[in-house]
Structure 1
Amino acid sequence: MRFLISNDDGVYAPGLLALYQALSTVGEVTVVAPTNEQSGCASALSVSMPLYTHKLASGFVAVNGSPADCVYLALHELYRHTRFDCVITGINSGANLGQDVLFSGTFGAALTAQLFGIPAMATSLVGGGQEQASHYKIAADEIVKLLVETPILDTCKNLPYHVLNVNIPDVDSACEIKGRKITALGHSQIARPVHHVVDPRGRDAYWLSLRKRQYELSEIGDNESSLGQSVVSQTVLSQQTASKEARSLTMDMTDNQAVAAGYISLSPVRLHHTPAATLEKLSKLVL
């Protein structure tokens, strides 16, 4: 098997190295990854500046662009005569669960591959950003097992415009992983989307955040205002509705529920999909 791998944490990231080493035991692996961290850039392409490549002593190719740039450049120029069996991105430092896939450079790079008909998988280690190298190895070994022990790759080849979004629990031992679950993307409320700070020169500055908070009805205190109760209650209800809808699709768990329960989450995400029911509903409007 021939694999092309990339990531959004940069060409020197431990997750990328662990993935390369594990995949090299079962196939030929080519690495094209960003020179620097590119988290949160989704599937952005650099169309207003040139791209430059640098081949490292490891054989990895570093690119001064986004993860999507790396895959785009690899498929159409650097390795245009190579037919890859699969593009795998990651292993991302931290989760890519639920709506985070919309912003993830790891997912965006896999998406770029699928746009050109290459089976693609985005992989993440669900930790707190300080994952140990040994944990990445466990995650990488689980990815290899998934490819070797299951028919998932052949199945993905027959699912055009689908990316398999894989989230692996951050554990000390592989025996702590309970198994695999096919899941739908969940939805979690962002706790604080923007952090406002004042820099040393007195200028306003803003940090964007995707950090989640799972609100529970029990968190609503008696001393909160009725407005606060209403906002939190609506948040809880909307999350519960989204969770029920996801469970009805999977008959089991959402991705964040599966990982929290100790399972590897496998979420198929379809692109270029306009729901037929929505088309029918909108077509009845007088526009």
Structure 2
Amino acid sequence: MKFLISNDDGVHAPGLLALYQALCQIGDVVVVAPHEEQSGSASSLHISQPLYPHILPSGFVAVNGSPADCVYLALHELYPDTQFDCVITGINSGANLGQDVLFSGTFGAALTAQLFGIPAIATSLVGHRIKGNGQDQTSHYEMAATEIVKVLTKTPILEELKRLPYHVLNINIPNVDTAEGIMGRKITRLAHSLIEKPVHHMVDPRGRDAYWLCLKKCQNVPTTEHMDTNINTPIDDSISGSPERLCQPRADNNDNNDNLVIDTDELAVAAGYISLSPVRLHHTPASTLSRFSTLAL
């Protein structure tokens, strides 16, 4: 298999290296990534300035742009004749759960690949432990990378993804110390949680107002006892009294949800499961079009 990988933490990030080393065990891997961190860049493209790719001693290609820039450039200029089986982004330092995917450069790069018809997977490692330095950090990324390879080689996920246009698979590895702590895999939907404090105000040393944007979510402790370890088993969505449920958007009745697995990614990783969320993009339901067409405009 042939893989293209990128990320939003920068070309020297330990998660990218761990993913590269793990994927090299099952195929040929090309790395094109931002030369510095680009978290929160979503799927932005630099169309008003040139991009300068630079080949590092490792063979990785560093680009002065966003994650989406890297994938766009790799597919159309750097490796135009390579038929990649999948574009995989990450491993992101920290979770990309729920509405985080709207802002994530990790997810945005995967989205860019899918727009050009290439199966795409965004991967993230949940938890605060990975923010540190040293061997502990490295071992967590290596564990996550091994689990991602298992998803690719021991499940039919990739083959199914190839048959789903305009879908990106968003994978989150739970906050556990070792693989033995992982409870299994869950097919999930994206959660929606309230932002604790979207903007933080501060005054800089020169007395000027400054603002940090923040995506930190309200901390809820959802009930998870109903979860089943079978990846193909639909999960009961009736969790009465769970505060996390109060933050959920109402179900779209036009999407035929009855036979789908509808537990959230946040619930899954909180219970120690690997969350796999197939995210559909660029879809306008026919029923919604019909409903709007009846409006007097």
* 1:158 and 2:163 correspond: yes
SS in 2 for 1:70: helix
SS in 2 for 1:186: coil
Number of aligned residues: 268
1: CA distance, partners of 2:271 / 2:166: 29
Match of 1:256 in 2: 266
Match of 2:75 in 1: 75
CA-CA distance at 1:237 after TM superposition: 7.8
Match of 1:38 in 2: 38
String of CA shifts for 1:189-208, please: whole Å, max 9, x gaps: 00000000000000111100
1: CA distance, partners of 2:103 / 2:271: 25
Name segments (4+ residues, structure 1) moved above 3 Å: 236-239, 243-252
String of CA shifts for 1:35-89, please: whole Å, max 9, x gaps: 0000001000000000001111110000000000000000000000111000000
Match of 1:232 in 2: none
CA-CA distance at 1:130 after TM superposition: 1.2
Match of 2:283 in 1: 273
* 1:175 and 2:180 correspond: yes
Report the AA paired with residue 157 of structure 1.
Answer: K
CA-CA distance at 1:280 after TM superposition: 1.7
Q: Report the CA distance shift for 1:179/1:95 in structure 2 as closer, same or farther (over 3 A).
A: same
Note the aligned Cα RMSD (angstroms). 1.9
Match of 2:224 in 1: none
2: CA distance, partners of 1:245 / 1:159: 22
Which structure 2 residues correspond to residues 202-217 of structure 1 after superposition, within 5 A?
202-214=207-219
2: CA distance, partners of 1:113 / 1:2: 14
Report the AA paired with residue 186 of structure 2.
Answer: K
Contact 2:203 2:210 in 1 (8 A): yes
Contact 1:243 1:254 in 2 (8 A): no
CA-CA distance at 1:278 after TM superposition: 1.6
Q: Report the CA distance shift for 1:9/1:259 in structure 2 as closer, same or farther (over 3 A).
A: same
Match of 2:131 in 1: 130
Contact 2:189 2:262 in 1 (8 A): no
Q: Report the CA distance shift for 1:32/1:251 in structure 2 as closer, same or farther (over 3 A).
A: closer
1: CA distance, partners of 2:247 / 2:101: 20
Q: Report the CA distance shift for 1:274/1:39 in structure 2 as closer, same or farther (over 3 A).
A: same
Which structure 2 residues correspond to residues 18-97 of structure 1 after superposition, within 5 A?
18-97=18-97
SS in 2 for 1:273: coil
1: CA distance, partners of 2:49 / 2:103: 21
Any gaps of 5 or more consecutive residues in structure 2?
222-241
Report the AA paired with residue 282 of structure 2.
Answer: H
Range 251-260 or range 102-111, more displaced? 251-260
Contact 1:5 1:87 in 2 (8 A): yes
SS in 1 for 2:197: coil
Contact 1:46 1:65 in 2 (8 A): yes
Report the AA paired with residue 264 of structure 1.
Answer: I
CA-CA distance at 1:241 after TM superposition: 6.3
Which structure 2 residues correspond to residues 102-117 of structure 1 after superposition, within 5 A?
102-117=102-117
2: CA distance, partners of 1:114 / 1:256: 24
2: CA distance, partners of 1:37 / 1:184: 28
Query: What is the TM-score of this pair, normalised by structure 2?
Result: 0.86
CA-CA distance at 1:20 after TM superposition: 0.1
Q: Percent identity?
A: 71
Q: Report the CA distance shift for 1:201/1:109 in structure 2 as closer, same or farther (over 3 A).
A: same
Any gaps of 5 or more consecutive residues in structure 1?
217-235
Greater per-residue helix proportion: 1
